[in-house]
Structure 1
Amino acid sequence: MDQVAERLGTGARFARRLIEERRIRYVKVGRHVRIPESAVRDYLAAHTVEPVRLRRAGLRRAA
């Protein structure tokens, strides 16, 4: 959990919440929970918001 939380930039509590709400893939081995690195990459890619580039209207070139 600590490694996943570090990769996400959050606390371990958030990583546990992702698992509890089934918002991220995980594997259960006995009583241990493992999150594949590919699942973390997929989660980050799906929740990444790209910036919007705005044009400045007042900076037009004179013709």
Structure 2
Amino acid sequence: MVLTIKRTNRFKRYEKLVTRTKKYLVSDEDNRFRVDSKVLTKNYSPISKHKSWFIVKMV
């Protein structure tokens, strides 16, 4: 599962809104969560090569 975090900041010089995104691979072993689910994640020791996060609960 891919977790996408969006952050909106104001550019200092031009004062425009800038949206930045960051994607994390999250472990979801049971496939309980769907797209657009809001979840609470926690950092963990590496589960695989790219996964080091797992889902704690749904918010």
Q: TM-score range by the shorter chain?
A: under 0.3
TM-score, normalization: structure 1? 0.24
- Identify which of structures 1 and 2 has the higher relative contact order when contacts are C-alpha pairs closer than 8 Å and 6+ apart: 2
Larger Rg over CA atoms: 1
TM-score, normalization: structure 2? 0.24
Q: Which has the higher helix share?
A: 1
Q: Which has the higher strand share?
A: 2
